[in-house]
Amino acid sequence: MGAAWHGDAERATLIRMTLAAELAEHDRVLDTATLLRFLTWAQLRWRLHSGRWQQPARGIVVAQSGPLSEPQTLRVALLWAGPRAAIAGLTAAWLDGFKGFGSTLPFAERPTYLVLPPGRHSRHSPHGIDVIRHYSRMLGPDDVHPVLAPRRTRLARSLVDAAAWMTTDRGALAVLAAGVQQRRVRVDDLGAVVARNPRLRRHKLITDALGDIAGGAQALSELDFSRQVVRRHRLPEPDRQSARRDERGRRRYIDVAWDRWKVMVEIDGAQHMDVLEYWDDMERGNDFEIDGYLLLRFPAWVVRRHPEYVARKIREALRRSGCAC
């Protein structure tokens, strides 16, 4: 009798220890089938009904009360979505170090972007989690990282998806430009993702934007310039971000230049309001003026809101310099 009791106690202790290790390994988030390897239905129901544990979605249990952490939230979302699903878009990009576009918000205030295989549908998201679902057949190792956890798309795929899912074209351009500016991804990697998906939303816009970024127009205002001013108003294609030496031998960059006609354009964003940077820009402009260039400057908001005005002024400058445009 005593030996049997000790044997039962040892088995119960082993089960508790194994369950504790399983919960620790999975951020205290498990599916009910796994939990029932260690608990009876009655034991599991008691923990849920007492409020010690919670069930954010059918078949998924979080072995704690209170708010979920970010890893727990993502694990619940993936369990709910199924084994082939992956964290995607901005959510996946944030996990890989991408900054901006809501990355500083508390995770509870951010949506969780998922990509699922077609045919995986559910009307209700997990309780308390804002899941935004998208569907794709492209969920192989070229698109979903085979090792990183939680399961998520590779960074290039994440940023391309984020651009495609943005509510505005400007938002799409901003995501792509920021990814390259932050040195998180190469243009070639983004381009490879786009090339594999000809049905991608905003395919032409994203392809054109990557061409501009590869040519040096990494600032969003410069992308706006290329799309809304040069192409729409049929100006000659400029040289972008050309490097030149000033009188002190320093390398100087200009946003847009037509070297043949010695016309330059600078697009000023918010950083140009800084006094020291503003003077540096003025000094650089003076050097180019001395070298015979005509330098035009436009605030970024003018490029975005009044591209026809910007195009008209540039055309006047080019024609003055002999361009038949």
Q: What are the structure tokens assigned to 30, written together?
A: 């498990």
Q: Smallest Cα–Cα separation from 264: which of 245, 292, 283?
A: 292
Of 82-86, 117-121, 200-204, 234-238, minimum mean pLDDT range? 117-121
Contact in structure between 182 and 98 (CB atoms under 8 Å)? yes
Mean pLDDT, the chain, whole residue set: 84
Convert the pLDDT of each residue in 24-57 to its tens digit.
Answer: 999 999 999 999 999 999 999 999 999 999 999 9
Dihedral (Cα; 216, 218, 221, 222), 10-degree rounding: 10
> Residue 292 has what pLDDT?
66
Convert the pLDDT of each residue in 63-116 to its tens digit.
Answer: 999 999 999 999 999 999 999 999 999 999 999 999 999 888 888 889 999 999
pLDDT of 195 above 80:
yes
Q: d(Cα 291, Cα 273) in Å, to the nearest integer?
A: 26
pLDDT of 248 above 60:
no
Instruction: Pick the more confident residue, 289 or 65.
Output: 65
Indicate the pLDDT class of residue 241, thresholds 50, 70 and 90: low
pLDDT of 211 above 90:
no
Indicate the pLDDT class of residue 202, thresholds 50, 70 and 90: very high
Q: d(Cα 76, Cα 57) in Å, to the nearest integer?
A: 8
Of 6-15, 235-244, 248-257, 269-278, minimum mean pLDDT range? 269-278
Indicate the pLDDT class of residue 289, thresholds 50, 70 and 90: low
Of 41-45, 76-80, 130-134, 218-222, minimum mean pLDDT range? 218-222
Q: d(Cα 63, Cα 26) in Å, to the nearest integer?
A: 10
Provide the terminal-to-terminal Cα distance of the chain, rounded to the nearest Å: 102
Mean pLDDT, range 185-207, rounded to an integer = 93
Indicate the pLDDT class of residue 297, thresholds 50, 70 and 90: confident
Of 72-86, 127-141, 209-223, 274-288, minimum mean pLDDT range? 274-288
Report field, pTM of the whole predicted structure over 0.85? no
